[in-house]
């Protein structure tokens, strides 16, 4: 079924040109992504509990309908993200996966076995892995270079381990059994890279670069790395248990980003910014905290370290950031839906404020 998009081949040429310049540090303006609706929602899919049972072609039909109804303004682009919940790689490795019928929440059953008996291996026949692999393949086969097919949210190595052990138990095991925790993280890292590489071998031949779950796009290999677990640990533990995995993974992509989720992760920021193989940081203040534009010193700290910065902000917040800090180095996903005419006016206003700063 041919897809009819509000997006042309010339638009894709512009996307590749401008995003490439942004990664290279050659773009003086911010990247600004605007859509007139969400590119798609998985809430309906999860509520129907069709994650494994619904025919893939019906899933793609749903995504296609939403894509065809969406206008992409600024630096936004047509994208499909196979969303099976955060850290679905735990499911690939054998964890029992559950999802809430009323939200996007996915969780995993903990393993009760002693830590030293837990071993994680690649299983080509795992039902969750086959589902994500086959859906990714089918999306690329259907849309080719018309739509960017994203990598699923694999999660981070320590987050994946926490899905097997439970967060509280793993916190104790960092102290009581550090060697076993390190062993398991060292098992997960090459498995994570194998999943990424196998999906990448499907996605990149289509010729529309790569994009993760987050709002960034690269003509080469990119990913939004994360460790939500590290909100609860010290910088010393971050350096011991988390940073080696991240650094290894950063080295395996061309454009690595880190998902800095919540103020509890700020204590690790200096170590992250010191990583020469990290291109940028996504700042998510977290529930109950001031929005992203209310952290100008943190945003300046990221950019002054020579890193790019991606944010989800309102149109008003985008103007505040550009007015106070300038636009260079930012990728601003505007959370307000905008009709293309409204988006055009907003982009002109934002550009004028950036120039006049």
SS3 track for the chain: CCCCCECCHHHHHHHHHHHHHHHCCCCCCCEEEEECCCCCCCHHHHHHCCCCCCCHHHHHHHHHHHHHCCEEEECCCCEECCCCCCCCHHHHCCCCEEECCCCCCEEECCCCCCHHHCCCCCCCCCHHHHHHHHHHHHHHHHHHHHCEECCCCCCCHHHHHHHHHCHHHHHHHHHHCHHHHHHHHHHHHHHHHHHHHHHHHHHHHHCCCECCCCCCCECCCEEEECCHHHHHCCHHHHHHHHHHHHHHHHHCCCEEEEEEECHHHHHHHHHHHCCCCCCEEEEECCCCCCCHHHCHHHHHHHHHCCCEEEEEECHHHHHHHHHHHCCCCEEEEECCCCCHHHHHHHHHHHHHHHHHC
Question: What is the pLDDT tens value at each position of the chain, 357 positions in all?
Answer: 799 999 999 999 999 999 999 999 999 999 999 998 654 455 555 444 457 878 899 889 989 998 999 999 999 999 999 988 889 999 999 999 887 655 567 778 877 889 999 999 999 999 999 999 999 999 999 999 999 999 999 999 999 999 999 999 999 999 999 999 999 999 999 999 999 999 999 999 999 999 999 999 999 999 999 999 999 999 999 999 999 999 999 999 999 999 999 999 999 999 999 999 999 999 999 989 999 999 999 999 999 999 999 999 999 999 999 999 999 999 999 999 999 999 999 999 999 987 766
The pLDDT of residue 47? 43
Distances (CA, A) of 10 to 15, 77, 252, 311: 9, 12, 30, 26
* β partners of residue 283: 260
Backbone angles phi, psi at 204, to 5 degrees: -70, -30
Kindly state the tokens that stand for 222. 């990119």
The pLDDT of residue 353? 84
Domain 26-356: which CATH class? alpha beta
The pLDDT of residue 101? 57
CA distance 63 to 98: 22
Q: Where are the domains of the chain?
A: 26-356
The pLDDT of residue 13? 98
Backbone angles phi, psi at 9, to 5 degrees: -60, -35
pTM (2 d.p.): 0.95
The pLDDT of residue 118? 95
Distances (CA, A) of 187 to 122, 179, 193, 255: 10, 12, 11, 24
């Amino acid at each position: 079924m041919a897809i009819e998009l509000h997006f042309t081949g010339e638009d894709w040429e512009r996307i590749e040109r401008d995003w490439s310049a942004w990664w290279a540090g050659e773009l003086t303006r911010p990247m600004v992504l605007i859509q007139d609706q969400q590119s798609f929602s998985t809430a309906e899919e999860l509520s129907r509990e069709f994650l494994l049972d619904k025919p893939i072609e019906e899933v793609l039909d749903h995504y296609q309908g939403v894509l065809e109804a969406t206008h992409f303004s600024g630096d936004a682009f047509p994208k499909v993200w196979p969303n099976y919940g955060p850290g679905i790689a735990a499911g690939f490795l054998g964890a029992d996966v559950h999802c809430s019928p009323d939200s996007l929440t996915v969780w995993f059953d903990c393993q009760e076995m002693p830590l030293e008996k837990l071993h994680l291996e690649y299983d080509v026949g795992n039902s969750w892995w086959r589902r994500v692999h086959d859906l990714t393949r089918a999306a690329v086969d259907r849309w080719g270079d018309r739509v960017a097919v994203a990598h699923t949210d694999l999660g981070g190595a320590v987050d994946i381990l926490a899905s097997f052990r439970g967060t509280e138990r793993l916190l104790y095991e960092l102290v009581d059994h550090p060697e076993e925790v390190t062993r398991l993280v060292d098992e997960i890292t090459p498995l994570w890279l194998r999943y990424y590489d196998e999906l990448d071998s499907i996605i990149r031949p289509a010729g529309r670069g790569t994009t993760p779950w987050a709002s960034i796009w690269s003509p080469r290999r990119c990913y939004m790395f994360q460790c939500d677990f590290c909100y609860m640990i010290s910088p010393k533990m971050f350096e011991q248990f988390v940073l080696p995995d991240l650094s290894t993974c950063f080295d395996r992509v061309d454009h690595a980003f880190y998902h800095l989720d919540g103020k509890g992760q700020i204590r690790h920021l200096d170590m992250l910014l010191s990583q020469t193989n990290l291109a940028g940081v996504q700042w998510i203040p977290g529930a109950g905290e001031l929005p992203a534009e209310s952290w100008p010193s943190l945003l300046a700290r990221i950019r002054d370290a020579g890193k790019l910065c991606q944010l989800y902000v309102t149109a008003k917040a985008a103007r505040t950031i550009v007015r106070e800090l300038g636009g260079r180095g930012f990728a601003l996903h505007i959370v307000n839906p905008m009709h293309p005419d409204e988006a055009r006016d907003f982009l002109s206003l934002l550009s004028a404020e950036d120039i006049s700063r």
